[in-house]
Structure 1
Amino acid sequence: MILRDLVGTPFFELDCFALVRKAYEIDRGIIIPPAKAQAERSGAVFSEFLAEISTNWQRVERQKGVCVAIKYDTNHPKIVTHFGYMIDENHVLHTTKDTGAIVEPFRNLERLVEGFYEYISN
């Protein structure tokens, strides 16, 4: 399996963080534990994100093979509620309920990006 095989996967099969986890597994051979927060609970997603980045992730520059944290929810525009995977420096693999898994040009999401993170294997 390659990353592009994930395109078209429905959101109900892999939500945004599950898609990032699967991309890490395929692309880098790294297994990341599942999220505890449900995708539709924005506040819980953000709280878990804050806890996770302080222990299991490190902030990095934009590059292939990292997680991108996105302020995607218009009801909560100041908090991270969405995640994607940088398949190269200019394209993000991510998923929404409306689209399923897609590859989108980074420039379309750039203004919503909080940062880029690399998982630290313990």
Structure 2
Amino acid sequence: MNTKSDQPDLLSDLSDLDFMRNLLADLHDDLDGKVSQLHLLSDLSGKMGKRGTMIFGGPAAHLAWVEARDCFVHGNFVATVLLCQGMVEQLFAAYLHAGLLMDEIPERIQFRKTLHLC
């Protein structure tokens, strides 16, 4: 019977210490770029007022905003755009629902129809 020591790790031959070294090097690289991205987000948040702004759309819109900020800081710009598109869709749907323009929001609605209703 095979034991854990008999089988090599299929995913990586790095030890935990090697993995930690690579992770720390990745976090350290482009530190200036990440700091500048954080400054941009800080300026944007400052424009929202001292207490911030309410994000319509519930937890889905809020989580999309949080993840979009993280992706922006770490340079994952395609993910940032996709998350912001998802957040905008949630915001539009919430505005339609709050404005009583739609009694019930369907599970799947085309973005073009949402824009038309807004």
Q: TM-score, normalised by structure 2?
A: 0.25
**Greater strand share, 1 or 2?**
1
Based on CA coordinates, which of the two structures has the bigger radius of gyration? 2
By relative contact order (CA 8 Å, sep 6+), the higher-ranking structure is: 1
Q: TM-score, normalised by structure 1?
A: 0.24
